[in-house]
């Protein structure tokens, strides 16, 4: 049993907007709604470009149906980025996307933004999509009640969209079993902002037809004031009739091939960009082509020049299958101002992007590898030059560190180091120059702390001045020097100090004082007796450590 989609769609600019930023497409195998970011330049461009880049998926013969929808949406996002590069006026543009792709008995679902997807299946009506908004995140975190979100001042702030925001946006992806009779509603946020969910459910359940559902919901939105664009797509999964299958076979066999004239026009980027001042880039991305029906310089739907590509190829593509196209995408095909960016390759590749057909075997693309071969030396050469510059910078930086000095400690003593006190990983940027016999414990605590964290010096002479200051401080804190023992006249050693008297209890007489001030003669031969001299510890001398 083959399944297809029955569909209906409608879009309205609403009562407050000057242009329609919504786009939508529905066919036998694909349905998609895109809502351009309101208030941003190029919202209509973003939604139209995205929808028109997905219409080629409206078929049943995909090789990888489970991933093709997500891959093509990511490709559409990259094209939006290229559009911004070629026209900075479009900076900040973006769009939501909510899409369904039918293959066999499965519906592949992809979603980003705040457009909605509802499903009525087996009597149950439910919202399948999750809004990627700030208030929805607050609800998910339990910080906001759903009824409060309807009046929250930031209820329209989007957290995820396609466009000039993220190179690889995160999509919500799911696969749903498809059954004949189930219905899906895809809509932009202009609908749910005005029409309550229970009214939407009643319209889906009880309308006479898909088109009646679409019209009823749009009219309810307009009656409610329609402050934003509103777009509604209704689809129903149904069994394909023999007439449907026969028509599909005819379309497949009579698919028109793009003629060379249109291909040449689509890829004529240099000629088209000459009048706008934009040239092809050499990094693999071409500027947008500026070819439009009966117009030398094309503009986007907002009047900004972006370089539109002739619509003939896409019109041919759409004419081969039953579908409905509404909103900005429909206006783009009617006026010929389709914002598609061609890739930097051959004319056949440009045609493949527009018509979504694979390049033919005889395509000149076979010669394309010559370009990377000619440029293969650029990247290695650039990396080599950058490596040499980095090594040179590091080497000169190291040489500079070796002209610096600082005072610190080495094994508990004051020392001068050559270099800087910082290290780069395992690489030390300093080495010991001179260590001195000045122990840290002989210095005040605050100076010990300074030495532990290092004291910078302008040069070696300045470092030696710092050490000399520490030496003076250390000597002040040294203990009194100990007396040196001297031999007595009887051969015994005397340890009396120069200030001691002969008697421990009597005060010294002037004669005794005079005798202590000069050497005394021995009783036997008149040989002077050496007086005791103080002994200063080496750590108090403060000299260099040998």
Listed ranges 142-151, 245-254, 390-399, 527-536; the one with the highest mean pLDDT: 390-399
For residues 55 and 151, state if they share a domain.
yes
Give the structural domain span for 150: 3-360
pLDDT-wise least confident of 108-122, 132-146, 183-197, 260-274: 260-274
Q: What is the 3-state secondary structure (H, E, C) of 100-147?
A: EEEECCEEEEEEECCCEEEEEECCEEEECCCCCEHHHHHHHCCCCCHH
For residues 13 and 139, state if they share a domain.
yes
Give the pLDDT band (50/70/90) at residue 55. very high
CA angle 427, 431, 437 (to 5 degrees): 145
For residues 327 and 428, state if they share a domain.
no
What whole-number distance in Å separates Cα of residue 180 and Cα of residue 240?
Answer: 10
More confident residue, 484 or 197: 197
Among 301, 336, 360, the domain boundary falls at: 360
**Average pLDDT for residues 246-273, to the nearest whole number?**
52
For residues 290 and 380, state if they share a domain.
no
CATH code, domain carrying 448: 3.30.70
For residues 180 and 273, state if they share a domain.
yes
Residue 341 in any domain: the answer is: yes
pLDDT for position 396? 84
Residue 544 in any domain: the answer is: no
Residue 218 in any domain: the answer is: yes
What whole-number distance in Å separates Cα of residue 99 and Cα of residue 346?
Answer: 31
Q: In this structure, are strands 493-494 and 162-163 parallel, antiparallel, or unpaired?
A: unpaired
- Total tally of structural domains belonging to the chain: 3
For residues 348 and 462, state if they share a domain.
no
pLDDT-wise least confident of 133-147, 321-335, 368-382, 458-472: 368-382
For residues 471 and 377, state if they share a domain.
no
Residues 320 and 255: beta-carbon distance below 8 Å: yes
Residue 66 in any domain: the answer is: yes
List of residues 6+ apart from 129 with CB closer than 8 A:
98, 111, 115, 116, 117, 172
For residues 250 and 385, state if they share a domain.
no
Residue 521 in any domain: the answer is: no
For residues 393 and 250, state if they share a domain.
no
pLDDT > 90 fraction of the chain, expressed in percent and rounded? 34
Residues 464 and 416: beta-carbon distance below 8 Å: yes
What whole-number distance in Å separates Cα of residue 269 and Cα of residue 255?
Answer: 27
Among 302, 337, 360, the domain boundary falls at: 360
For residues 393 and 412, state if they share a domain.
no
Residues 289 and 272: beta-carbon distance below 8 Å: yes
More confident residue, 335 or 285: 335
Residue 493 in any domain: the answer is: no
Among 454, 476, 498, the domain boundary falls at: 476
Give the pLDDT band (50/70/90) at residue 38. low
More confident residue, 348 or 396: 396
For residues 382 and 353, state if they share a domain.
no
**Average pLDDT for residues 261-276, to the nearest whole number?**
41
Whether the predicted model's global pTM rises above the 0.75 cut: no
For residues 298 and 352, state if they share a domain.
yes
Residue 366 in any domain: the answer is: no
CATH code, domain carrying 295: 3.60.40.10
């Amino acid at each position: 049993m083959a399944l297809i989609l029955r569909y209906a769609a409608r879009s309205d600019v609403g009562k407050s907007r000057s242009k329609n930023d919504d786009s939508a497409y529905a066919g036998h195998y694909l349905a998609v709604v895109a809502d351009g970011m309101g208030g941003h330049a190029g919202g209509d461009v973003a939604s139209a470009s995205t929808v028109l880049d997905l219409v080629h998926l409206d078929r049943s013969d995909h090789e990888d149906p489970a991933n093709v929808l997500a891959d093509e949406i990511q490709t559409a996002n990259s094209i939006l980025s290229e559009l911004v590069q070629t026209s900075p006026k479009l900076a900040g543009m973006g769009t939501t996307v909510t899409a369904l792709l039918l293959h066999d008995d499965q519906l592949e679902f992809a979603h980003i933004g705040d457009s909605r997807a509802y499903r009525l299946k087996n009597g149950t009506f439910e919202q399948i999509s999750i809004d990627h908004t700030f208030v929805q995140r607050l609800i998910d975190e339990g910080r906001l009640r759903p009824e409060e979100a309807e009046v929250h001042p930031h209820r329209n702030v989007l957290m995820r969209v396609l466009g000039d925001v993220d190179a690889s946006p995160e999509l919500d992806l799911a696969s749903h079993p498809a059954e004949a009779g189930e219905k899906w509603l895809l809509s932009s946020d202009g609908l749910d902002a005005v029409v309550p969910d229970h009214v939407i459910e009643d319209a889906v359940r009880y309308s006479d037809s898909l088109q009646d559902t679409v019209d009823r919901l749009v009219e309810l939105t307009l009656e409610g004031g329609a402050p934003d664009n509103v777009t509604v797509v209704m689809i129903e999964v149904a069994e394909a009739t023999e007439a449907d299958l026969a028509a599909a076979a005819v379309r497949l066999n009579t698919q028109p091939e793009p003629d060379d004239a249109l291909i040449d026009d689509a890829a004529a980027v240099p000629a088209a960009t000459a009048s706008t001042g934009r040239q092809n880039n050499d990094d693999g991305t071409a500027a947008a082509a500026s070819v439009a029906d009966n117009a030398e310089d094309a503009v986007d739907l907002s009047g900004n020049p972006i370089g539109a590509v002739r619509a003939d190829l896409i019109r041919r593509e759409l004419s081969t299958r039953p579908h409905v196209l509404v909103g900005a995408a429909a206006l783009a095909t009617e006026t010929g101002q389709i914002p598609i960016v061609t890739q930097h390759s051959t004319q056949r590749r440009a045609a493949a992007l527009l018509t979504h057909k694979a390049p033919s075997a005889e395509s000149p693309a076979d010669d394309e590898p010559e370009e990377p071969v000619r440029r293969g030396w650029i990247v290695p050469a650039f990396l080599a030059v950058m490596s040499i510059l980095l090594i040179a910078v590091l080497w000169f930086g190291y040489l500079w560190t070796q002209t610096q000095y600082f005072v610190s400690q080495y094994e508990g003593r004051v020392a001068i180091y050559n270099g800087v006190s910082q290290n780069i990983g395992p690489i030390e940027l300093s080495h010991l120059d001179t260590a001195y016999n000045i122990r840290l414990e002989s210095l005040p605590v605050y100076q010990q702390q300074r030495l532990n964290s290092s004291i910078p010096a302008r040069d070696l002479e300045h470092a030696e001045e710092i050490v000399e200051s520490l030496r003076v401080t250390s000597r002040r804190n040294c203990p009194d020097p100990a007396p040196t023992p001297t031999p007595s006249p009887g051969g015994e050693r005397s340890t009396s100090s120069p200030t001691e008297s002969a008697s421990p209890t009597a005060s010294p007489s002037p004669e005794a004082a005079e005798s202590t001030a000069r050497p005394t003669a021995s009783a036997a031969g008149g040989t002077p007796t050496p007086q005791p001299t103080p002994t200063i510890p080496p750590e108090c001398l403060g000299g260099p450590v040998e």
